[in-house]
Structures are given as structure tokens and as C-alpha cells.
Amino acid sequence: MRPIEGLSLLITGGASGLGEATARHFVERGARVTITGRRADRVATAAAAIGCNGIAGDVTDAADRQAMIEAAIAHGGGKLDALFNNAGNMYRATIETVEQDKLFDVFNSNVLSAMLLTGLAVPHLAATQGSVLFVGSVHTRRSFPTASPYAATKGALQTLTQVLAAELGDRGITVNCVIPGSIPTEINVRAGLLSEEEVRARARDLLSTQAIAEIGQGGDIAEAADYLLRARWVTGAILDVDGGMGLGVTRA
């Protein structure tokens, strides 16, 4: 395992949810973490609470992506060891009502921006024989009607993980993907699909589809991220952390 003490880590979408939990996990163990997010106030508040570096920016903006890399390197002591591509948005629609602009937007935020940010990070990660982590989704394991736009972006990231693992292996860079299950976060609230209470109720309703009938927490993903970002001989892995939801459990 790569040492966690002093590890320089950039986490996009790190001001809330899975990104925030992962940032907290790494900082508590001595890593030098930089989080990003679109809202400057949220990023500043989260960074202060976690004890990490924060930079406001939009992963879909080229100049902001460059600034994120530079901020992480500066905070990390002149190096970058790991990139966690966590930022993402939700878009749901029936196939008859999908809007082109919204479809392009969700692919840009979830897939294209992560690809481009990774490309910027590669020369620095090659210098440290570092790691990249993407976030997939249980939406690629279970079929939820109206979720095709979001599920398609996550399927793309899971394929991208394995292609980049093959492409970057000879430069000493590992590339992996974690697939979270139903964990209450803000993604559906930001998309205007559910209220916070409805998000929690939805997670409770989905317990019957899991082998382990407990609601997942951000810390569960943080533990998986720790392993995948620091393991030296694991690449191209797609790790399900979902309480067994992807198994297709039925209790009829």
C-alpha cells in the first residue's frame, strides 16, 4: 500500500457527500487533501471543518481544472499522488422526453470533465506512480426506469476505468472505480428530484433490495477509496460497495 501520511490527494466534489467523507478519512490519517466544488462558500466551510485545502471551481471549465491541479500540487508539497474523480450530477427522464442539452450537460459533468482532468493529472501522477479513482453507480447493476441518462454516464466511467488502467499501467499509474449503492447524498436534491427527507425515505425503501439491510454511509465509500487509491497491485478494478444491492436480491 502507498503510505497515507503526506499523500497528496485531489477530490472533486469534495464539499459534501461521498467526497467530503473521503476527504475527512484521508485528512484524519495524515494526507494532504485538496477538495473542489462549484460553490465557494460550501467549499470554504467544508475545508475548514475537515482541515484540508479547498478551491472553488467547475470541473467543466478548462481553466478551473488547471487551477485544481495546481492547487493540489501546491498544497501537497509539490506533488500529486492521487486523484478522486467524485464530482457528478444527476439527470433523469424517460427516453421519449430526454432533452439534448441536459443529456450533453450530464455527460460533460460526469464523464468528459473527469477524462480531461485525469489527462491533466497524468504527468504528475506518473512522477509519483500515483492513482486515479472514478465513481460508478449501482445504476449499472440494477435497472431503474427513467435513469438511463445517469446510468449511461456511469457505465461510460466503468469502461473508461479499465481502458485507462491498461493505457497508464506502464507509467506506474493505477486506475480503479468504486460503485456505491444507495447512500443518502445531495445529488438528487441538487437535481430537484427529491427533498432531503425523501432521499432518506428512498434509502429506507431500498433496504429490501440489499443483502445487508443497513443504509450505507459516506464512510463506507471512504474506506473503499482508501484501498483503491493506495493499493499498488490493483488496477482496472470495479469494486461494488452497495450492501449487496447489485446482487439482485429478491425476498418474494
Strands 131-135 and 174-180: parallel
Catalytic residue among 106, 122, 150, 180: 150
> How much of the chain, in percent, has pLDDT values that exceed 70?
96
Instruction: Share the mean pLDDT of the chain.
Output: 94
- Identify any residues that bridge with 135 across adjacent strands, giving them in sequence order: 178
Looking at residues 199-222, what average pLDDT do you find? Answer: 89
Is the model more confident about 66 or about 209? 66
To the query of whether residue 91 is one of the catalytic residues in this protein, the response is no
Looking at residues 97-104, what average pLDDT do you find? Answer: 97
pTM of the model: 0.94
Q: Which three cell numbers stand for residue 247?
A: 446482487
Gyration radius of the chain over CA positions? 17
Is the model more confident about 129 or about 192? 129
Q: What is the CATH number of domain 8-242?
A: 3.40.50.720
